Each structure stands twice: as C-alpha cells, then as structure tokens.
Structure 1
C-alpha cells in the first residue's frame, strides 16, 4: 500500500462539513442542549481572566477567531472537540454558561484589554458588579459575529474521530495526558467517565498509592486506575508489542466504552478487593521500594511496585486468598531480586520495564 492509498482510506474514516455560524445561532443551540461544551472540560482548559477578556475584545473588533471543531454524537448533539474555552468564554460573557449542576455561572466582566480601554469592567448586559455594559447595538453586533464550525459527522469512525480530538487538544495545551484522556472519555461515554472517577476515588486505592497533592490535581490517580484495568489481564502478545503506555491507554479507551454493566461491576469488585488487600498488607508502604538490608520501605510511590505487586495481586483475583503477611513477604522477594534493586531500569522506558515487572508479579503471586 502506498501513501496515496493510505490517505484515501483514512479520509474515508472521517466525514466532515464546514460552515460559519453566528454567535447568536451558537448560543441558541447551547440553550437548547444541541451543543455540549462539557462542564467537565472547563476545569481542565481554564483561561486566565485576561485571556477571556482578550477573546471578547477580538469578537467586538471583528478579528477572526480560529475554527471550532465539533463532533456529532449518535443523538445529533455537537460535542465541542476543540474550542471549549472559546465557547465557554463567549457563553459566560452572555450570561448563559452553566456548570455541571446546571446552574448558571456568574457572568464574565471584562478586565483590562490591549486596545479597548473602556472594555475593562464591562459586561454583556447590565450587572450590579460591572461599571458599564454593551449597548443594544453592540450586543447585536456581538451576536452576529461569525465562527467557522468544523463538524465531524457521526458516521465518522470513532477511533479516527477521537484521535483527532487528542491531537487538536494537545497542541499548546497545559493539560496533562490524563486530563486529555478524561476529556476524550467524557466525549465517548459519560457513564464510563463517571465509573472511572468512582474507582479512582476508592479510599483504599488512594491510601495505598499515597500521591502528592499536585499529582492528584493532575488526575494521575485516574491514569493509575486505567493502567490497572487495562494491564491487569493483558496477554503476553499485547504486552510484548506495547510501545508507548500513553498511546496504549488512549487507544484502549475506545474499546473500554463498549464494556457493559456486568463487566464494569466485575472490574470494580476486583479493583476494590486488590487495594483492600494491599491496604491491609501495609498501606502506602506496600507500593514503595523495600530496602532488604534495612528491612524497611523507602521513598515515594513506586511504579515498579505497582506493576509487580498491584497488578500481580489483581491478576489472580477473584479466587486467590492472600494474607497481609504473604503480600509483605512477596514485597521483600521483589526487592531482593537483582532485576528490581536500586538502579533497576535505569535508562529504560516504562514500556520496556513493564515487560519485566508485569510477568514477574504474576509469577510472584501464583501461589
């Protein structure tokens, strides 16, 4: 197959359309629930007040805005793929932006902007906290400003559609890889996103991984939960071919949203049982590096321990009964092995390390 054939095949996977729409038309779609900017996204792609004010200034001055990409879901609703903050800012300025509980946000009052000095303190309509508001004519001009909409139609291939989502939202974004995955997952299935949020909030799980506050803010606990559910039963062929853990997790999300209630319930029980066992065996210490010479754990949470111990225990559940003493003995065995002592995997990528740690952990707990 040559490049031209590949291009034709991939283009057939994504059906798109393009046309300009006025802000007034977009605001009506938003009010009617026909365009979804996902409040969950707004916590991730958050602009500073100055950035939001500059966008409003651009609209008022007639400066063209970048295209907004939307994906049409199975119900015909447009999910915003790229342009979340632009749409959120415009709708908040207009006083129609809602949060996750369907409550209205406080309307945006502009701060200092580069060109329009009188825009500082200005709101869309009169507001007790604003110094001034747009005139009726200015509001009409604002609503008539146009935005180019790029529509990814619902007949597009899901995998290709959300690969595009990931690419668009990773350019110049300060979001972490897991925050981007969360956005992708919300777009694919809010039910599965909420399920992931539930298991990654499990008390025993959070106790055992014991992450610093910064990593919790960046949703790293959700990435660890995904690693657990996608890697726990990965077959040897899949493990051997694994190249990039981030791409692997993103790729697996598309299949994950096909999981039904029974499988989700089974996975939840296994997840909870695994971390209940680990909490009883030592809590945060069980996934830290163990120093056999000093007979104690050292340092922070260890991915090596997570891959060998957490995934090793989880692989044999349900069915295998493990006492706290057994798990602690296995922890000591792990760190007494030459492959996992200090300096292990120095210079190795995490993807290469997992090809050793995961099989080792499965063998370690096969009692």
Structure 2
C-alpha cells in the first residue's frame, strides 16, 4: 500500500499522573465493548469480611503477615497535608472506607486497596521518623504540629483502638478471578493501574525478576531513562516481554486478553516449578539483548511511533511497539542489525505511515488477538529488511 500524500502526524496522547507526563503513550479501546467470553462462576468468588483494630493491623504489618507491597512507589505519593488529615479523621473517629486484602495459602495477606491509607497510618504511628501533623481542619489547637509520640495517651489509644473493615479475598479464589475483583473495586482516590494491581497481588519472586529487568543499563538506555517508573509501566513492559518470550506470540491466542495473559505470566514467574531459575536467567539475558539491539537499530526512537515525513521530535514509548520489536530483535546478531539498521528503520517507519492496519494494532484495542498477531507478523517482516 502506498500513498502520494504527505503523511499526517499521528494523534498520540501521553499518559499523565499528578499532572505530569509519564513518558508512556496512552492506549485507547474501541467504544463497543465485546461480550464477556468467559464469565466467572459465582462459586469461584470467595470474599470474607473481617474487622481489625488499627493496632492489630499495624502489628501484622510489622510481623510481615500483612504486606504493604514493598517497592511500590505509588503508595507514597500523598502530600503532607493529605496524610495529616487522614490521621485527623481517625482521631475524629470518622470510619475509614473498607480495605481489600488478598490472602495466600499460607495465611499471609497483601493490601491491594487501601495501601496509601495503611502506609500513612503506619508511617505516623510506627515509622522510624514519622511525621508531624500539618494543615488540620478541626484539631489545630489540639494536635497540630505533633508527632505520634507527642500525643497525649487518650489520643494514642483512639488511633490504636480504631476499627477498620477489610474484605479478604480467599486464597482458593482463582488468580484471574481475584484480579478481576480488584479491577472492579479499584475506584477510590487515584485508582491503581493494571500493573500496580498485579504488583500488589504478586509475590516477591516475580517482583524481583521484573525489577532486575528494568533496572539494567540496557533497558534504561533503550527507553531513555524509563527504569523506576512512578506507575510501574516499566515493569509492565518487562512483564509483556516475559509473557511473549515464555509463550510465544501464538500462545497469546490461548488467553484472548492482555490482562489474562499477563496475570498468568506473573503467577508463573512467582513459582519456580513453572519458570525455574535457569529459565529466569535466560529470560533476563534475552531482555538485555533485545534492549541493546533496539538501541542499535532505532537509537533514541526505539519503541516510539516514528512516521515518515518532517521531524516531529520524540513521541512517548508505545507498549505494543515495545513488545513486538523487543521480542523480534532478541533473535538477531547485533552486528547484522547494525549493518541493516537503515533499511530496518525505513521499513518500520513506512509501516507507521501507510499501513493503517498496523497503526490500529499499536494504537487501539491492542489486546485484540488479531491485532496482536498482525503486529508481530508485520514487525518480523520489517526486521528482515536489507537482507
């Protein structure tokens, strides 16, 4: 397919968080919502409601039977006044909204909804430095400027004895069902994105693997410093690579949705019987190689829309381009890619200019199985340019 007209710049929208750009292109979905192909059976959903005192919840955090998702930067974004007014609400005996925990087979629980609230309370009461209350609305004259240790005993007791309600997802609930539950109830404050939910639900093994992958110099260079992303989009991209590397692009057809695909891969990475340590080493080596090869071919335009025509600067990182090109380039020798880089770039830019089916596959409903297969197949052909 060719065109004689000058190509128009694509309409690219960047994700924002706290009014700041994240460096990641926003994905869009078609307005028409497809029918649910696999509705969950009601008997698979098991939720128990439990009541705890805040003292009990903080004790569980300290003895690690209740986990606050370590290395979760998003849980620490509240400003000082927001934190202080949460503590003020507790002191005023205003009931806190319900929390949601995920329980595993060993009885350990992870906070999925309410992470910022519990982190704030724990920091105030048990943190090494804590923080002084600031910007209160009703208790300025009583506790403004005080830390927990400075509070009179009755105020300390009011915090420790405050009751919270938690809905605990039973460990026998299938992971896909559990993930879907948390997506449905994730509506408060600044809602968690998909990867943040997966992070809260997962175990340390998968977290550590994805963290190692994204904190490499190769990833940071290929993505212009995306490692340590505030909203964990870096780890989602590493997880997408792992999913397609483990299952192959054709394996995606067994899942039918990106959420199921990535959730299953997270579960696999958490269990050495599914993905042993030797395979993890191979995965991490493949990821580094893919990042280095992407830099060889595309320079600082790697994983970004880059249509032919006048220079428009750099667009945000595109997730669909990332997974397709990273998986494709992993199989090539860097010296071969360096020799053919000009031809590959021309082929890739041509696709992003005139192949509207390809543009659709990297822009909207990118989890549609047909679009996934098309972008992988077409990207693989472009990688052969110059041979």
Place the TM-score, normalised by the shorter chain, in its bin.
0.7 to 0.9
Which structure would you say has the larger RCO, counting Cα contacts within 8 Å and 6 or more residues apart? 2
Provide the TM-score with structure 1 as the length reference. 0.76
Partner SS state of residue 198, structure 2? helix
Contact 1:112–1:119 under 8 Å retained in 2:
no
Corresponding residue of 1:349: 364
Q: Do residues 228 (structure 1) and 255 (structure 2) align?
A: no
Corresponding residue of 1:199: 213
Q: Give, in whole Å, the separation in 2 of the partners of 1:151 and 1:302.
A: 36
Corresponding residue of 1:129: none
Residues 60 and 231 (structure 1), Cα distance of their counterparts in 2 relative to 1, 3 Å cut = same
Deviation at 1:252, TM superposition (A): 4.2
The gaps in structure 1 that reach 5 residues or longer are 98-103, 127-132
Residues 281 and 187 (structure 1), Cα distance of their counterparts in 2 relative to 1, 3 Å cut = same
Q: Do residues 263 (structure 1) and 276 (structure 2) align?
A: no
Q: Do residues 187 (structure 1) and 201 (structure 2) align?
A: yes
Q: How far does the alpha carbon of each residue in 1:153-174 deviate from its partner, in whole angstroms, 9 at most, with x for none?
A: 2232222223323333x41443
Q: Give, in whole Å, the separation in 2 of the partners of 1:90 and 1:306.
A: 38
Q: Do residues 115 (structure 1) and 138 (structure 2) align?
A: yes
Deviation at 1:253, TM superposition (A): 2.9
The gaps in structure 2 that reach 5 residues or longer are 1-35
The correspondence for 2:326, drawn from 304, 307, 310, is 310
Residues 326 and 58 (structure 1), Cα distance of their counterparts in 2 relative to 1, 3 Å cut = same
Q: Do residues 363 (structure 1) and 347 (structure 2) align?
A: no
Q: Give, in whole Å, the separation in 1 of the partners of 2:58 and 2:167.
A: 17
Corresponding residue of 1:335: 349
Q: Give, in whole Å, the separation in 2 of the partners of 1:285 and 1:91.
A: 43
Contact 1:288–1:298 under 8 Å retained in 2:
no
Q: Give, in whole Å, the separation in 2 of the partners of 1:309 and 1:42.
A: 28
Q: Give, in whole Å, the separation in 2 of the partners of 1:200 and 1:209.
A: 10
Contact 1:44–1:175 under 8 Å retained in 2:
no
Partner SS state of residue 101, structure 2? strand
Provide the TM-score with structure 2 as the length reference. 0.73
Q: Which has the larger radius of gyration?
A: 1
Partner SS state of residue 171, structure 1? coil
Deviation at 1:185, TM superposition (A): 2.7
Q: Do residues 273 (structure 1) and 289 (structure 2) align?
A: yes
Corresponding residue of 1:21: 52
Q: How far does the alpha carbon of each residue in 1:105-139 deviate from its partner, in whole angstroms, 9 at most, with x for none?
A: x212111222222231122213xxxxxx2x11222
Contact 2:301–2:314 under 8 Å retained in 1:
no
Partner SS state of residue 122, structure 1? coil
Q: Give, in whole Å, the separation in 1 of the partners of 2:190 and 2:113.
A: 14
Corresponding residue of 2:339: 325
Query: How many residues in Structure 1 have an aligned counterpart in Structure 2?
Result: 336
Q: Give, in whole Å, the separation in 1 of the partners of 2:50 and 2:305.
A: 56
Q: How far does the alpha carbon of each residue in 1:183-216 deviate from its partner, in whole angstroms, 9 at most, with x for none?
A: 5235312121121111122222322232679x94
Partner SS state of residue 125, structure 1? helix
Q: Give, in whole Å, the separation in 2 of the partners of 1:158 and 1:305.
A: 28
Q: Structure 2 matches for 1:209-228, cutoff 5 A?
A: 209-210=223-224, 216-228=229-241
Residues 166 and 236 (structure 1), Cα distance of their counterparts in 2 relative to 1, 3 Å cut = same
Q: Give, in whole Å, the separation in 2 of the partners of 1:282 and 1:320.
A: 12
Residues 46 and 262 (structure 1), Cα distance of their counterparts in 2 relative to 1, 3 Å cut = same
Q: How far does the alpha carbon of each residue in 1:1-52 deviate from its partner, in whole angstroms, 9 at most, with x for none?
A: xx9xx67x23x22333223221222222223222212232354453222222
Q: How far does the alpha carbon of each residue in 1:52-79 deviate from its partner, in whole angstroms, 9 at most, with x for none?
A: 2222122122211111222222331221
Residues 297 and 286 (structure 1), Cα distance of their counterparts in 2 relative to 1, 3 Å cut = farther
Q: Structure 2 matches for 1:4-19, cutoff 5 A?
A: 9-10=41-42, 12-19=43-50
Residues 91 and 354 (structure 1), Cα distance of their counterparts in 2 relative to 1, 3 Å cut = same
Per mean C-alpha deviation after superposition, the further-off stretch among 343-352 and 106-115 is: 343-352
